[in-house]
Structures are given as C-alpha cells and as structure tokens.
Amino acid sequence: MGRLSPTSRILLVEDEQAHAELIRRAFESRPQFELKHASCLREAEAELRSEPLHLVICDYRLPDGTGTQLIRTKNGTHPPPVVVMTSQGSEAVAVEVLKRGAIDYVVKSPETFADMPHVADRALRQWGHIVERDEAQEQLRERERQLRLVTDAVPALIAYLDRRRRFQFVNAAFERTFGRPREWFVGRPMRSVLGAEIYDDVLEAHCDAVLASQDVAFEAWLPMGSPEKRFMRQEFVPHRADDGGVLGFYALLTDLTEVKRAEEERLKLQKAAAAQERLAAVGTTAAMFAHEVANPLHTMYLHAQLVESTLSEGDAVQCRADLGVIKDEIARLNALLLEFRTLSRGAVLQLEPVELGPLLDALVTLHLQEPRVQVIREIQADAPPIRASADKLKQVFLNLCKNAVEAMPDGGRLTLRVRVDDDMLVVELEDTGPGIPPDLDVFEAFKSTKAAGTGLGLPVARQIVIAHGGTIEHEPAAAGTLFRVRLPIAGPTE
C-alpha cells in the first residue's frame, strides 16, 4: 500500500497536541493527503487494523512505547512505511530507527512541521521505488523458480556458464550425474568439473567458438562424473546481449549412451545376420555346385564302364563314342569351374578405351556364323568409346548372343542396338525366341533353361556389368526377349 494515489492516507502518531496541531495545519493546503491522528501506540495499532494506510508519521517516544514498534516487516504484503520524529537529533537514535526499517528520520522543529508534506511526498516516492524493486525481484525469483522447475523436469543436463566458463546455474540432472548439490557447481570452471583431459581435448575449442557467437553441437564420449564414459550429445548456445556481444553460454548435454549402445548392438545383430545369410548362401551354392558337378561325373563314370566293357569286345567305334561323351562332360566341368571361379572372385577390370560397335561386329563375325539366324545391327554412328575391360565385355555380350541364338533353334532374328542415353551407353539385344518363363530368375546361379547350360553365364555377366558401374536387365519383347545393358560413358572409378 505504499504507492502514490489520488488520496494518500497518513496516520500521525503524536502525543503532544501542539506538535500534532502544527503538522495538521501544514497538511491543510494539501488535499491529496488525508490525515488521521493517534496519540499513543494502542490507538495507532487500532487505526492500522481498521483500514489500509499509505504512511505513518510517529514520534519516537510515546506514552506506551516507541515509534519504532510500528515498523512492520513484510508478511506477504507491503506494510505502510514509517517516518520517525524525535525532539533530539541523537545519532544513536537515528541509526536505531533506520536499522529497524524506517523510511526516514527527522528532528522536530517548527520548520520540520511546516515542511512535513514534503517529507511525506519524499517518503511515499521512495517507498514506491522500494515496492517496485521488491515486486520486480519477486517476479524474478518466481521466474527463476519456474525455470528451475522446468529444467529440473528435463532429463538432459542443462547449465549456464559465464564468459570465464564458470558455472552459474545447473539443473537437477547435473546434481544426479555428479552426485553434488547445485551450489557446488556455481563459480567452478568447466575444466575443473568435467576434467582437464576432456576439456583440453574436446571442449575448449567448442567453447571458444561459442564465445565467438557460434552455435555448436557435437557428440562424444565423456566421463561425466563416473569412471564409465557416457555418450553425450552436447549443444552450446551463446547468450547474446542487446548489442550482440556474448555474455556467456547455455549448455545442453543429452545422454545418448543407451541409444548408442542399442545402435551398436543392432549393427552387431545385422552383421551377424548378414554373416548367417552369407553362410546360408554359400551352403546353398555349394549344394547346387555339387549337384551340377555330380551329373557329369556320373555320366563319365557310366561311359568309362562302357568303354571298359567294349574294349574287351573289340568294338572301337563304340569306344570312341563313349570317350567322346566323356570328353564333352570334362569340357562342361571345366567351363563350370571357370565360371564359378569368376563368380566367386569377382570381376577384375583392366580399363582401356573400348568402342562397342567394332567389338560387337567382331563377335558376330567370329562367333555367330549361324545361317538360320539373321543378325541386324542398329549401332549409333557417333556413339563414344567408353573406358572398360574389352575382354570382360566380350564375355558379357558373347554370352548374351549365344543365349539368344540357342533360344532360336529353328531360326529367327537377333537385333543388336547401341545408343547414347544421357551419360550412359545402352546396348540392347533382342531375339525372336520363345521368351523367358516369368517365374525364372536367370541371374540366379545354376538356373538355366538349357539342358547343357551351367547356369552361371548370366550371373557372371551381371557381375561384370556391375563392376563397370552399369546395369543389366531383361524384359519381354514383341516376339522373344530383350536384354538391355547400360554402361556409364565416363567409366567406373579406378
């Protein structure tokens, strides 16, 4: 109740009537003041209880006590300020009065009585400033309390540090992590709290960046008050003044240790699963390879027995026929082993400039002399050369061409196309054969539509194309099958 208002209610506590009358007269010309009078403490206490007052002016010595007894301490609300009057200008009394909390102290005199309205003005203005200051401080304390409630509810470690990198505030998570009360942190350097090693090696440069007005975020393993390091995400934000200068910085440290360990465990499980899949694939491939090897070996064994029996009968013609079968099976086994070795080792590239047009022309001339199959070439004249392994690409396109020809035993048409599509060179081989069954994955090892096929030609071809940074695919054509190979013009990275 100490603020100035249109009418300020003042209680004058004075037992000498003459002094009270002089003061009353001084206030007569000041209608903004409403003056009440009490002659002792008992009457003053009754007035204080009956209605709110803005100011108390009281004599130091009263019949039933001293004026200092009217000075109240705050109890939720602001009591009225007290101006104490005394007849003697004792320094000891002045010190006592002001220490007890009086707003002012004056020595009685006719001049003082006449000037009492100005004393009241001064006291009320001063009290108004005190009330505003106290309310601002109370609001600040309330904000701090709310801030503490919010930050303490957050599991992350939150702190504020000044420009000298000394802690000014920490939340409850800091207390729990380090096992120290928050008061212990205040004023301590970050280096002494987090440790010289981690500060010098990890944090100092980041703190320099923050104090240069940069936001910083990073992740690292930190000891964090425990022998066991914790994986923390650390974010530092500068506290900027109105002029842009940096006063300090906020630190937010989030414990991601369990997340990190869960991620590491997930990666371990993924690697274990991948290894298990690889082992399963190796087992499947080994079983299929054993099956493919067993068939020709069984055939060779049977024909070797036939040769043994026919030799005793002197049938040279039959012996030669059986030996021919054995030789064919040996060649098939050799081809199977070569392709399997290529598939298992991967494609090793010796890069050189290669023009696909001449390469395909040479393949047709040397290996596709089949009169029943018409070969049509649609090769873009300005197709650029590519950096590739000529031998490996010959292996790819020879395999595709032979497959196409073998798919047309009664004759047909094979169309070879070469064109540029952006930064890729596209090669298409289209036949007029019966097509590929929709449920057959021709790029899976040991899968073949040919009775004598190894089932490794197309898997090897795909491996070579991928090693060149390209792709290979097939799709049904108007009459037959279309294989499309895309190779980068720039070539693979060496």
Is pLDDT larger for residue 486 or for residue 227? 486
Angstrom distance (rounded) from CA 421 to CA 493: 20
172: part of which helix (H) or strand (E)? helix 172-178
Structure tokens, 171: 């939340």
pLDDT on residue 23: 94
pLDDT on residue 455: 61
Q: Would you say residue 143 has pLDDT above 90?
A: no
pLDDT on residue 2: 42
Strand spans (E) along 188-244: 216-222, 230-240
Strand spans (E) along 291-392: 352-354, 373-379, 386-388
Q: Which of 142-146, 427-431, 475-479 has the weakest average pLDDT?
A: 475-479
pLDDT on residue 344: 53
Q: Which of 67-81, 127-141, 193-207 has the weakest average pLDDT?
A: 67-81
pLDDT band for 22, please (50, 70, 90 cuts).
Answer: very high
Please give the mean pLDDT across all residues of the chain.
82
Region 46-59 average pLDDT: 91
Sheet holding 55-59, edge to edge: 33-38, 8-13, 55-59, 82-86, 104-107
Residue 451: what are its φ and ψ, rounded to 5°? -65, -40
Region 202-207 average pLDDT: 84
The proportion of the chain whose per-residue pLDDT surpasses 90, expressed as a percent, equals 24
Residue 423: what are its φ and ψ, rounded to 5°? -100, 20
CB atoms within 10 A of CB 361: 15
Q: Would you say residue 205 has pLDDT above 60?
A: yes
pLDDT on residue 43: 93
The closest of 404, 373, 377, 398 to 481, measured between CA atoms, is: 404
Angstrom distance (rounded) from CA 238 to CA 131: 34
pLDDT band for 486, please (50, 70, 90 cuts).
Answer: very high
pLDDT band for 1, please (50, 70, 90 cuts).
Answer: very low
Region 430-455 average pLDDT: 71
381-403 residue pLDDT tens? 888 888 888 888 888 888 888 88
Rounding to the nearest 10 degrees, give the CA dihedral for residues 299, 305, 307, 311.
180
Q: Which of 102-116, 184-198, 342-356, 405-419 has the weakest average pLDDT?
A: 342-356
Q: Model pTM?
A: 0.43
144-199 residue pLDDT tens? 888 888 888 888 889 999 999 999 999 998 888 888 898 999 999 988 888 887 78
110: part of which helix (H) or strand (E)? helix 110-114
Q: Would you say residue 282 has pLDDT above 70?
A: no
pLDDT on residue 460: 79
pLDDT on residue 299: 66
Identity of the amino acid at 33: F
